[in-house]
Amino acid sequence: MIESRYLSAENADRYRSIMRLFYLHYEKMRYWLYQEEIFEELKAEPYFFDYTMEQCRQDLNALVGWKNLSTLQDTRNVKSIEAFKNKNFRYQMTEYSVEIERMVTRLENLFVERALADSRFAALSWDEILCAYFGGPLIGKKEQREKEVLWTEEAAILFGYGMESADFVSCRYFER
């Protein structure tokens, strides 16, 4: 299966980083990426400190050759024949590559779970570990919104009591 070649090729660390980047964008429903975007995101990582645009182009070409990425030439901003010949491509993960990355992610998660099971944290649940890491209980967005609504309602009631108290005190003060 040629699509899995990037997992064990000579520069597998770079190929896997690129494919993980595409997969993370795929999960956010952002399917097409430009070479410049990929390069900039990789350069933000310390591992890619000396990574060049030429290496990025070569890596993308290798991934296209192994059918991990498909390309589409972007002709929207072409204003000359020279710009057209420059071939500014957008890249997208193929379906096989999405499934391969999904499988790799699951395998990595299994490895982490197995490592935790063999450690002193085996008796702890994921919730307990995450609560300890984040310094408190994890709250979902729905629960957070419900708490915010409840707090807003309670604050309005307390504010109302505060105003009534202030009115009461001011009336008592001015009656003298």
Q: What confidence category does residue 19 fall into, taking pLDDT thresholds of 50, 70 and 90? A: very high
- Collapse the DSSP code of 135 into the 3-class scheme (helix H, G, I; strand E, B; otherwise coil) and give the result: coil
Q: State the burial class of residue 14 (Cβ atoms within 10 Å of its Cβ: 0-12, 13-18, 19+).
A: buried
The answer for residues whose C-beta is within 8 angstroms of residue 138's C-beta and 6 or more apart is: 127, 130, 131
**Whole-angstrom distance, CA of residue 44 vs CA of residue 20:** 15
Given CA atoms 140, 110, 41, 80 in this order, what sign does their dihedral have? negative
- Summarised one tens digit per residue, pLDDT across range 117-164 is 676 666 666 677 677 777 777 676 777 777 777 777 776 676 666 555
Beta-strand ranges (E) seen in the chain are 33-34, 69-73, 89-93
Q: Which residues of 131-156 are buried (b: 16+ CB within 10 A; e: fewer)?
A: eeeeeeeeeeeeeeeeeeeeeeeeee
The class of domain 2-129 in CATH terms is: mainly alpha
> What pTM did the predictor assign?
0.60
- Summarised one tens digit per residue, pLDDT across range 87-124 is 678 999 999 999 999 988 888 887 777 766 676 666 66
Q: What confidence category does residue 76 fall into, taking pLDDT thresholds of 50, 70 and 90? A: low
Kindly report the average pLDDT of the chain as a whole number: 79
- On the question of pLDDT at 173 being above 50, the answer is no
pLDDT on residue 87? 65
